[in-house]
Structure 1
Amino acid sequence: MISSKGVPAADPRRPMHADQLAVPTETVRALVHEQFPEWARLPITAVVSEGTVNAIFRVGDRLAARFPLRPGDVDGTRRMLVAEADAAAELARHTRFPVPEPVALGLPGHGYPLPWSVQTWLPGTTATDEDPGDSKGFAHDLAEFIADVRGIDTRGRTFPGHGRGGDLRSEDAWMQTCFERSGHLLDVPRLRRLWGRLRELPRSAPDVMNHGDLIPGNVLVSGGRLAGILDVSGLAAADPALDLVGAWHLLDAGTRPLLRADLGCDDLEWERGKAWAFAQAMGLVWYYVDTNPSMSSLGRRTLDRLLDDEVTATRS
């Protein structure tokens, strides 16, 4: 399947994960008809996307049903979905950029073993399909969104201790796995040297709230401007540099400085943002090379941008 940019998109029939759950359209239709009969007459269609966490289905024109792709226990998944709904509501109160509104929670059934969620469908095109990288307006919008999220009161929340956003060196084991799996895909010796520098960057700034996953598939664009933000489940307290991954995943060399200036990033924060982008991108390239080429290509592009920036910094 091909996206509007000509890049192969993820085929929902081909598993991206060894333990991935199957979510046929017929199952979704049966669940919706049984649990939400008021939507029984609405068309249900699978959404082909680069998403790796949920299978997504449009329900009519205004709703989206999202089904977790990885196995889990029912209670834990329900708590996760409730937390995601709470995060969406919290984020919506603090930014002018639209985020999906929680509508309903569904129950397991018809062979699908987990709870699932229904949200509003946001208009716009993902940044995977409408690249905003050279848009100055988008760069300013993205900076505004990051500032909005940073401005949310942590209310005592701190980094949960897992995932990206804490100690850079906690990524070492994962980076070693990525380097070992990427020898046939990337210039691993050069990338090892870059990680060797980035992992040593110190951290002194306190945790702030972050979206946590500002990749093109989670960003909606319209007319070269930021039109909405998807997948807010990662909203959490973490390193203030974490959301700077968006500068490398989404912006070109010409627009990246605009975001940095708007946010007032010092050298250390900016470099730590590069480090988190590196850690995320390294995993995308090899893990999704066959099952989600769009995500793999994103990882390659981000790593190329980081390496190019290293060359520019060395020459200046």
Structure 2
Amino acid sequence: MARMMHPDEHPLDAALVRRLIAGRFPEWASLDVTRLPSGGTVNAMFRLGGRMVVRLPLTPGGAGDVTLERTWLPRLAPLLPVALPEVLGAGEPTPDYPYPWSVYGWLDGTNPEPGALTDPVGLAGDLAAFVTAMRAVTLPDAPGAHRGGPLAVQDPGTREAIDALRKLPAEGVDCDAVTAVWDRALAAPAWDGAPGWLHADLMPGNLLVSSGGRLGAVIDFGCTGAGDPACDLFPAWNLLPAGAARDAFRAGVGVDDATWLRGRARTLSQAVVALPYYRTTNPAMAGNARHVIREVLAEER
């Protein structure tokens, strides 16, 4: 059993997933089920045979993401330049497991790691093309993207997280500098355009790259919807190195200074919220949060 990250997390293991598969998809009951290591915080992933993966929410808050993906992934996939997960089976709650869950087709690739990119400038261009394609989507009735509203909505939670980090001196975070970056973004011109389509959670763990380092797939559309375009600038600081790659990404997405500031602040907010929460339970998430804080403060300097 994997270590739990949330107080309301439902325990999941391969035996439970086998029972769910046997009950809902008996034709797949003989396939091997193996838990996949993941830095994800909302869902658990289990490989099913050689070409499928089972994705199950860990908490009640993640249950809505399942139906969101079932609705929108088939509509978005033909409009985007890289592969998206294909829903092959829709599982429903059972007495053993209280949330909807899905079976997806397996997508080849690996998660990129900051500081270990094979082709950072090429990947930056791929990411910019994906973000631009998302913004060009015109599908009607888009839901509101998670964290896609005005930056000020995140202000109370961000300041609470900064205060939590002040109580963790071992982390070595310059909380005054973090606050200054946040305040500068709040003082910049607010987003006042029409909401555009976003992925809204472009973390390294939601990207798959080929052996050559180029973007092959984007996964986990549980936050997707319409909102501030700054929400899809996260890779500039959570993945791409400063210099040519980050510059290529900014040029490719074509955003103004205010949007860039908001994007940087949104990425920083996600990191300062994640670090105190996941520092002992999710090494991948905590490690990326530390990386973001370093990158943002270095760019500010």
- Same fold, TM exceeding 0.5? yes
> Aligned in 2, Cα 1:13/1:47: closer, same or farther, shift over 3 Å?
same
* Distance in 2 separating the partners of 1:200 and 1:89: 39
Q: How does 1:225-304 map to 2 (within 5 A)?
A: 225-254=214-243, 255-304=245-294
Shift of 1:111: 1.9
Q: Residue 150 of structure 1 is aligned with which of 135, 150, 162?
A: 135
Residue number in structure 1 paired with 2:70: 85
Secondary structure at the aligned position of 2:102 is classed as strand
Query: Does the aligned pair in 2 maintain the 1:27–1:110 contact within 8 Å?
Result: no
Count residues in correspondence.
294
Give 1:24 deviation, angstroms: 1.6
Instruction: Give the C-alpha shift of residue 71 in structure 1.
Output: 2.7
Where 2:179 maps in the other structure, the secondary structure is helix
> How does 1:20-169 map onto structure 2 within 5 Å?
20-71=9-60, 77=63, 80-109=65-94, 111-128=96-113, 131-132=116-117, 135-155=120-140, 157=142, 159=144, 163-169=146-152
Query: Quick check: 192-201 or 23-32, which moved more?
Result: 192-201
Displacement of 1:108: 2.3
Cα distance in 1 for residues equivalent to 2:261 and 2:119: 21
Q: In 1, distance between residues paired with 2:114 and 2:53? A: 19
Work out whether residues 119 and 214 of structure 2, in 8 Å CA contact, stay in contact via their aligned partners in 1: no
Confirm or deny that 1:306 pairs with 2:289: no
With over 3 angstroms needed to count, the CA separation of the structure-2 counterparts of 1:60 and 1:140, relative to structure 1, is same
**1: CA distance between counterparts of 2:47 and 2:282?**
20
Q: Give me the whole-angstrom Cα distance separating, in 1, the residues matched to 2:26 and 2:144.
A: 41
Pick one of 178, 181, 185 that aligns with 1:191: 178
Aligned equivalent of 2:157: 174
Distance, in Å, in 2 between the alignment partners of 1:302 and 1:141 is 20
**Larger helix share, 1 or 2:** 2
Distance 1:194 1:133, change over 3 A: farther
Give me the CA root mean square deviation.
1.9
Sequence identity, in percent?
Answer: 37
Match of 2:233, SS state, is helix
What residue number does 1:208 align with?
Answer: 196
- What is the CA-CA distance between 1:299 and the residue it aligns to? 0.7
SS in structure 1 at match of 2:187 = coil
Gapped regions of structure 1 (runs ≥ 5): 1-11, 312-316
1:83 is displaced (CA, Å) by: 2.1
2:7 maps to which residue? 18
Task: State whether residues 165 and 276 of structure 1, in contact with CA within 8 Å, keep that contact through their aligned partners in structure 2.
Answer: no
Gaps of 5+ in 2: none
Q: Distance in 1 between matches of 2:181 and 2:97?
A: 43
For residues 198-233 of structure 1, the C-alpha deviation after alignment (integer angstroms, 9 at most, x for no partner) is 122222322110000000000001111001101012
User: Which secondary structure state, in structure 2, belongs to the residue aligned with residue 265 of structure 1?
Assistant: coil
- Runs of 4+ in structure 1 off by over 4 angstroms are none
Describe the SS at the equivalent of 1:182.
Answer: helix
